[in-house]
Structure 1
Amino acid sequence: VENADALVALTPNDESNLMVCKLAKDLNVPRVVTRVNKSEHAKMFDDVGADVAISSITAAVGLFEKATTGPELYGLLSLGGDKADVVEVTVGEDSEAEGKTVEELNLSELCTIATITRKGGLIPARGGTVLKKNDRVILAGKSEEVSSATRLFRKQ
């Protein structure tokens, strides 16, 4: 454990995961990620210093919710108990985002475009970058703001 860069606790027992997380933090493991089986236990993991505590139920519900929004949206990561999301969305034909610059999207300060992939290559996500149909965009930020921003990329 002394040489570990990270530790992931995935047992089906919150008490075991909690003890593993506390021990890892006491041994100065830089990054501790854990599964939380009962949502009401999430605060305990924060209290022992777990860097990421993922609720099994919340994660599953989030995946189903995101899966129903269509193939143009793919949830990559949920952080901080659903406070922050990283999602990949495809610029749809006739969507509000198609043909606009990143700046013209006027995204909230709590949501940012991390990357744009076009025809397999990365495009810088600068204010003047024009979004084109089928661009794959990675959005990151506060869950509510990311969810709101994804609407811009769907066909109208």
Structure 2
Amino acid sequence: MRTFLSRLFTCNRAAAAAEMALVTPFLIVLMFGSFELGNYFLSEHVVAKAVRDGARYASRRSFADFTCPNNVSTDVVDKTRNLTRTGQIASGGTARLAGWTTATTVSVTMSCTAITGGNYSGIYNGMSNVPKVKVSATVPYTSLFNNLGFTSTTLNLVSESEATVQGI
């Protein structure tokens, strides 16, 4: 019996299998966590790019669409929201992200900066205020693992961009 016990304690034939059985759950959690983190950063990038596109589009609209102090035409608001959410000006279209279901998550506001200290000869010639448009979005984040039954707390992807109206 003594020799059997000494051989049992010195045997290491299944040590690798036992170590792998202990480490595998941690590796799986690490792998899926890195997938989720990558998806989060990709989604955040998509929202930031969409908001930048929306601000760029709105800033190139005519000066007539913006009246100071804070009045943006509804046409600009609607088309900017559609462009930001779907990438196209017309209503409808496929959202850039799966959870981005409504255009009301995008807000389009403006502010006016008074021109002081001189006469501008460029596009702001004769204007007393320079309109700046601000596009912001709050989009609910959709996890990769929601379909597997893992529901998490609600995370929102928040981004904003501001551009001076150029009246092109």
Structure with the greater relative contact order (CA < 8 A, sep ≥ 6): 1 or 2?
Answer: 2
Structure possessing the higher radius of gyration over alpha carbons: 2
What is the TM-score when the length of structure 2 is the normalising length?
A: 0.29
Which structure has the highest helix share of the two?
Answer: 2
Which structure has the highest strand share of the two?
Answer: 1
